């Protein structure tokens, strides 16, 4: 049976892609570059857990997106959630919620266009309950 074997790319749409590109660089460390041919921003995210690279793109919307139409949430892994949250708080980025489970810790934020973001820190075997 054919099945999905991984994620090749994540593309998000934004009303202001240049500003969104800067926000992702400053706050999440995801670097993108403008492609002059199509006007979109492209970068890569290396998944250190698997060794795979996921392509990341920010596309300009053809019609303005309302705050209610941002339905995609991306989960980003981090190795130290507390340090990451401290950095975001210092940048006045609101933390909507945090959640600790027996397999990992989560935090929820939004980018400037309202796209939800889930941050995840896997618990090491010695920290699992």
57 and 34 housed in the same domain: yes
12 and 46 housed in the same domain: yes
In degrees rounded to 5, what are phi and psi of residue 89?
A: -60, -40
62 has pLDDT over 90 = no
Domain count for the chain: 2
126 has pLDDT over 60 = no
> For the segment 17-51, what is each residue's pLDDT rounded down to a tens digit?
999 999 999 999 999 999 999 899 999 999 888 88
Q: Which domain holds residue 27?
A: 1-61
> For the segment 64-89, what is each residue's pLDDT rounded down to a tens digit?
877 666 667 788 888 899 999 999 99
Q: Is residue 67 in a domain?
A: no
Q: How far apart, in whole angstroms, are the C-alpha atoms of residue 23 and residue 1?
A: 40
Report the share of the chain in percent with pLDDT over 70.
88
Q: Tokens for 27, please give them.
A: 């706050």
Burial 101-120 (b: 16+ CB within 10 A, else e): eeeebebebebebebebebb
Three-state SS at 25: helix
CATH of the domain at 38: 3.30.720.120
Among 61, 92, 107, residue at a domain's last position: 61
């Amino acid at each position: 049976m054919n099945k999905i074997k991984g994620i090749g790319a994540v593309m998000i749409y934004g009303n202001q892609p240049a500003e969104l590109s800067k926000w992702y660089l400053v706050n999440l460390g995801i670097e993108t570059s403008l492609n002059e041919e199509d006007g979109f921003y492209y970068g890569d995210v290396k998944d250190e857990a698997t060794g795979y690279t996921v392509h990341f793109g920010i596309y300009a919307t053809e019609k303005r997106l309302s705050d209610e139409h941002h339905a995609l949430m991306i989960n980003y892994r981090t190795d130290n959630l507390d340090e990451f949250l401290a950095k975001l708080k210092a940048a006045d980025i609101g933390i909507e919620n945090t959640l600790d489970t027996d397999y990992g810790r989560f935090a929820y934020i939004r980018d400037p266009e309202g796209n939800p973001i889930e941050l995840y820190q896997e618990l090491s075997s010695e920290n699992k309950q």
